[in-house]
Amino acid sequence: MSRFASTPAVEAKLRREAAAGAIFLGMLILILLPLFAIVAYLLWQAAPSLNWRFLFSAPTHGMREGGVWPAFIGTLYLVTLSLAVAAPIGVLAAVYLTEYARDNWFNRAVNMAVLNLAGVPSIVHALFGLGAFVYAARLGYSVLAASLTLAIMTMPVIIASTRQALLSVPHNFREACWNLGASRLQTIRTIVLPNAISGILTGIILQVSRAAGETAPIMFTGAVFYKAIDPGTLFPYALDEQCMALSMHLYTLSTQTPGVAASIPNATAVLLLALVFLVNSAAIGLRTILRSRGKW
């Protein structure tokens, strides 16, 4: 027998680890197979309509023909504006709750409220946006009202994920910075936020998909059934105007447009997935670069 031969106990442990690895791999495959099957089915069904003309042209003949450019550019408007509002406010709120707020019953209640708001159904946010922005703030049915509604919907998750990212930074980093004479603000700006930025971006990435795919909040506050714009126009909507969006356009094609070719709603779904994938990929790439610069 070899001097370093495995004992029966070690061999049994290795067999158990191999079995556990096989089980977890099987679970991963079971999760990925439906995803790949759905994407493959959408691509197959969308193939007759999926081309550059479909992307850069407007719907025609009662939305039974043509493309999705007004809805595509409208979705970019809504996602960009909502994140421009939700991301800075959410991050600053998380910084205050984590770094400045005292541990008392009021702040614990605020934290619990943030977590509860993250699970509120989108239709509730839609009704809030309708009352708060469309009627109370008198913004009317507009791009701005819809974007603010999406921002309110996505902000709790950004706050919660940012708090977890800030808490993951070791407290020793803060103490070392304070011992060198830095103020709390300087510590947050130069030590805490740079080391937590990858986690913060993770929370923002998760909300891109939700903001792009929600229908109810924008349907109640700013999305419109159809709006004619010139094909290829990059800035077709003003903030006080209504806009089309891919999620509502897909809903309209699937439920309100008789006689439409099956490839058109499937091509719309593929473009919505592609938009989310591209935005998420860009954010993940940025997160990877920032994470590679970490010192711990």
Output the DSSP codes for the chain.
--TTPPPHHHHHHHHHHHHHHHHHHHHHHHHHHHHHHHHHHHHHHHTTT-SHHHHHS-EETTTTEE--HHHHHHHHHHHHHHHHHHHHHHHHHHHIIIIIS-SSHHHHHHHHHHHHHTTS-HHHHHHHHIIIIIIIS---SSHHHHHHHHHHHHHHHHHHHHHHHHHTS-HHHHHHHHHTT--HHHHIIIIIHHHHHHHHHHHHHHHHHHHHH--HHHHHHTB-S-----TT-S----TTS-B--HHHHHHHHHHT-TT--THHHHHHHHHHHHHHHHHHHHHHHHHHHHHHT---
The radius of gyration computed from the CA coordinates of the chain, to the nearest angstrom, equals 24
For residues 162 and 171, what is the distance between their CA atoms, to the nearest angstrom?
A: 16
Percent above pLDDT 70 for the chain: 96
Could you confirm whether domain 69-292 is CATH 1.20.1530.20?
A: no
pLDDT in tens, 230-289: 777 778 888 999 999 999 999 888 888 888 888 899 999 999 888 888 877 877 777 777
Mean pLDDT of 83-88: 92
pLDDT in tens, 127-180: 999 999 999 999 999 999 999 999 999 999 899 989 989 988 888 888 888 888
Question: What is the pTM assigned to this prediction?
Answer: 0.85
| More reliable by pLDDT, 203 or 97 | 97
Mean pLDDT of 217-236: 85
Percent above pLDDT 90 for the chain: 36
Mean pLDDT of 104-119: 86
Decide if pLDDT at 293 tops 90: no
Can you give the pLDDT at residue 1?
47
Q: pLDDT averaged over the chain?
A: 87
Can you give the pLDDT at residue 148?
95
